[in-house]
Amino acid sequence: MSGPTIVLITGANTGIGYQTALQLPLFHNDTYKIFTKSELEPLVVDLEDDESIKRAHEEVDRKVEKLDVLVNNAGVLLDSQAKTQNLSTRQLFLQTFNTNVFGVQVLTETFIPLLLKSTSPRLLFLGTSMSSLTVSENPNPYFNHPPPAGWPKENSDFWAHKSSKLALMMIMRDWSKNLKNDNVKVWGINPGLVATNLGGSKEFLKSIGAGDPAVSGRLIRDVIEGERDGYVGKLIATEDDYFGSVVPW
């Protein structure tokens, strides 16, 4: 890529988004101008609020002439906290889909005109191998272990999160098709299991083997730098990912 690359990363104040933001200036000095909640150009946006998305777009539109990369990173996993937060099943699903699917779609649609002004536009969506239908047939991962018989079940599943990310991957596929003739490269990113605030307990994530989110940040940086251009439209992961560097659907 030549010239400054303008990157918008949602949810970059922490976790994978933050680690991604760290990777870009680290390797490229001033090449990247990053819009994050807390880095070079902070940008406040609430995915549950259309007005907030509109304001964020207006702010970016005022400051830059184009957007080269949109990393749809922000997301929630509320299943594990649903009980303690007294969320009904309906509230759990509504809130999860509102952020992970509806909000991401509204934000993407809003920023597409800026993205189309880039000579090398890239559009990324954070997914997860947990949402692969093929992976759901694999009995080995802990999230596929059936709970003991009896009712009610302990809330050991991630129903809302998994189904929201599965929905998001279909949206990713459609953006890939929709923007093909505009030369926009689109991916789903499986960042691997990494220790962040997702789900509300870094310690729990570490206890089930979560790694360093910097690894996910490097994966996203590689995609931005063009190293995974042969896999557009796919849900991709690091080379040593348990489910493969291209996650089966």
Residues 192-221, interacting with ligand NAP (CB under 6 A): 193-194, 196-198, 210
Nearest to 239 by CA among 213, 214, 218: 218
Residue nearest to ligand NAP according to CB distances in the complex: 15
CB nearer to ligand NAP: pick between 15 and 121: 15
CB of 148 to ligand NAP, least distance (A): 26
Residue 191 makes contact with ligand NAP by CB under 6 A: yes
Residue type, 161: H
d(CA 178, CA 165): 19
Q: Give the torsion through C-alpha atoms of 187, 193, 199, 205, to 10 deg.
A: -170
Three-class HEC string of 18-57? HHHHHHHHHHHCCCEEEEECCCCEECCCCCCCHHHHHHHH
CB nearer to ligand NAP: pick between 120 and 136: 136
CB of 191 to ligand NAP, least distance (A): 5
Report residue 246 as tokens: 């291209």
Residue 31 makes contact with ligand NAP by CB under 6 A: no
CB of 14 to ligand NAP, least distance (A): 5
Chain residues that interact with ligand NAP, rule: CB under 6 A:
10-11, 13-17, 45-48, 73-77, 99, 103, 126, 128, 191, 193-194, 196-198, 210
